[in-house]
Amino acid sequence: MLLPSALVHAQNVSASGPSYLLLSQDPDFLEQLSKVSSTAYSSGRTRLVSLSVPLNELPAWIASRLREVSPGEVYNGPAAEGAEKDADPEIISIISKADPGRLMNYARDITMTGKRNSGQLDYSAASGNRQAMDYIAASFKGLGYSVERQCYKERKADKECNIIARRAGEPGNRAILIVGHMDSVGFENAGADDNASGAAGVLEMARVLSGYKSAHSLIFVAANGEENGITGSYACARIMKASGELSKVDWAINMDMISWNRDGILEIETNKEFSAHADWVGAQARLYTNLRPYIAMPAWGSDHVPFLEAGIPTYLSIEHWEDHSPCYHKACDKLESLSWDYAVQIVRLNLAVIAGKTRLTGLPPKP
């Protein structure tokens, strides 16, 4: 479904020459790009430029971060209204178990592991990246999940791995995948918003869902290497496709940067083919949280992209990019000034989406 307002935006986008979607908003890239481009569209996460020189004359590291898009693919604005029904008391009871304090504790523990870039695995087998892998694996295990280290790259001092937790659903049933990246750009004890917050969201969802039997199988992925080319999630999609597991995944959820807030807006990012699904997610946000849901298209630059490219309906939940963390990709991306009341709303939304899509039955409390 193409929203009427998307058409209005689309006409604005098509005004002059080809438009290129920014596939990165790293500050260095933005600075270099600004010298050879002008803004064609800018709303939230979705930024398009017109180039003043041909794409093939740009340095490869800049050209590789641009993708030509057609106007009809582009939208950034409020999710469609009107899809809401009445809130389900059972869903309210499930999602209210997500706790801002626990979420913050997970994020703090991940943040404080040291230097968390996967490239650090070339220098030390005790790097922050390794510590974060171990911490997340132990946390999943403590919650009763079966845990896999999905290693896809040899590093000089260690292996680069995703940490995957699984619990089987009913026999013959389908699966839901929840992903968030655990690595950072690599500053010491930083990357709290990007993306200890999203990895903590994966753990907190796993904690809440450990109290329920799910009809769908659940697959939680703490992805590595996102900041170095989304390597972990590309490897995960490739390995799961080869094993046949990916064909069982009905849809997937990504959390990246969920803890910086000024205006309560959440961006739900996907590709146009799944915009109706994203609008449904937006409706759940209005029903079960105090978030203001926006839809962003097309998708770029995080762990949802490999799964979208594999044809899985996937969305990214992310803080409002119009006013994102000023410490994005900087050493000051620390726990202070982040909002766990906002982050927990996003976790509750993603739990409500799962509860709305599969049957969850409460398990007796663990002894």
Q: Which residues bind Zn ion (CB under 5 A)?
A: 194-195, 256
Residue 226 Cβ vs Zn ion, minimum distance, rounded to whole Å: 6
**Nearer Cβ to Zn ion, position 118 or 358?**
118
Nearest to 2 by CA among 87, 97, 73, 92: 73
Determine which helix (DSSP H) or strand (DSSP E) holds 329, and give its type and residue range: none
Nearer to Zn ion, 282 or 301 (CB): 301
Q: What distance separates the 2 farthest-apart alpha carbons in the chain?
A: 66
Q: Which is nearer to Zn ion, 95 or 121 (CB)?
A: 121
Buried b (16+ CB within 10 A) or exposed e, 288-323: bbebebbbbbbbbbbbbbbbbebebbbbbbbbbbee
- Residue 61 has which token pair? 């590291």
Nearer to Zn ion, 207 or 324 (CB): 324
Q: At its nearest, how many Å lie between Zn ion and the CB of residue 195?
A: 4
- Does residue 158 sit in helix, strand or coil? coil
C-beta of residue 21 within 8 angstroms of C-beta of residue 46: yes
CB of 183 to Zn ion, least distance (A): 8
Min separation Cβ 312 and Zn ion, Å: 19
47 by DSSP, 3-state: which?
strand
What minimum distance in Å lies between the beta carbon of 194 and Zn ion? Answer: 4
Beta carbon nearer to Zn ion, 204 or 256: 256
Tell the smallest beta-carbon distance from residue 306 to Zn ion (Å).
Answer: 14
What minimum distance in Å lies between the beta carbon of 160 and Zn ion? 16
Q: Which is nearer to Zn ion, 178 or 287 (CB)?
A: 178
Question: Which uninterrupted H or E stretch holds 8?
Answer: helix 4-13
Residue the block writes with tokens 């041909």: 54
Tell me the residue ranges of DSSP E strands in the chain.
19-22, 37-43, 46-51, 66-69, 75-78, 146-154, 159-167, 175-181, 212-214, 217-223, 249-255, 265-269, 292-297, 314-319, 360-362
Q: With respect to Zn ion, which residue has the nearer C-beta, 190 or 360?
A: 190
Give the contacts of 356 (CB within 8 A, at least 6 positions apart): 88, 91, 284
Q: Which two tokens stand for residue 136?
A: 């997340």
